[in-house]
């Protein structure tokens, strides 16, 4: 009986610590996705997401819409469309972003393609190489659940950026946030423990 109580006590402690950790992650995600977005950024980086053939997923469509709204109000801001071509995609995620922005009235001359990246880390790293030399301050455009990690990765690579959050599609909230908790945990492990 004593052993059973000890096991239950340990399990209870693990569950409580897990809930506290998830609460901390949710706080960081919320904090970064609710900050006031400054005007007149030198550049936006629109992070890629899944494309079905040539059609952006709901998550990517939300990022594109958010970027287009900002670009219309801030006419000197340029945009890096980031994302390579994955399975089931007929064109790169970057090309999809570019086409959709042009369809929304953004001049093609303001759009720079980065079409080789396969994950968020590469999105940031490869986009940095495409920035004009005089670009100083930027915004990373991604869905609310993803802003904290994206901005953190950009900061790690020496970019001065903030987040420009796009809505997370309602049908993807549970899956997206669950995956992001795991992705942030991996990021912490790599940054603080494994290096």
Where exactly are the structural domains of the chain? Answer: 31-193
Does residue 34 have a pLDDT over 60? yes
Question: Which pTM does this prediction carry?
Answer: 0.91
Check pLDDT > 70 for residue 195.
no
CATH of domain 31-193: 3.40.50.620
The helices-and-strands tally (H runs, E runs) of the chain is 6, 7
pLDDT at 30 over 90: yes
Helices (H), 34-172: 58-73, 93-103, 120-130, 147-156
Question: Within 10 A of 79 (CB to CB), how many other CB atoms are there?
Answer: 24
Q: How many CB atoms lie within 10 A of CB 117?
A: 21
pLDDT, tens only, 102-118: 999 999 999 999 999 99
Exposed/middle/buried for residue 26 (C-beta within 10 Å: 0-12, 13-18, 19+): middle
- pLDDT band at 56, cuts 50/70/90? very high
- Taking residues 160-189, report their average pLDDT: 94
């Amino acid at each position: 009986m004593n052993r059973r109580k000890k096991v239950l006590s340990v399990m209870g402690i693990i569950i409580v610590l897990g809930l506290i950790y998830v609460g901390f992650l949710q706080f960081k995600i919320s904090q970064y996705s609710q900050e006031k977005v400054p005007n007149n950024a030198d550049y936006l980086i629109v992070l890629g997401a899944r494309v079905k053939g040539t059609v952006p997923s709901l998550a990517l469509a939300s990022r594109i819409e958010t970027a287009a709204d900002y670009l219309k109000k801030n006419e000197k801001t340029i945009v890096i469309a980031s994302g390579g071509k994955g399975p089931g995609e007929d064109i790169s995620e970057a090309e999809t972003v570019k086409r959709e922005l042009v369809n929304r009235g953004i001049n093609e001359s303001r759009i720079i393609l980065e079409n080789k990246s396969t994950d968020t880390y590469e999105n940031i790293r490869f986009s940095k190489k495409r920035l004009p030399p005089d670009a100083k301050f930027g915004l990373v455009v991604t869905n609310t659940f993803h802003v904290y990690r994206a901005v953190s990765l950009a900061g790690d690579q020496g970019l001065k950026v903030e987040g420009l959050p796009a809505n997370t599609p309602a049908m993807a909230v549970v899956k997206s946030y669950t995956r992001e908790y795991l992705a942030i945990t991996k990021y912490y492990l790599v940054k603080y423990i494994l290096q």
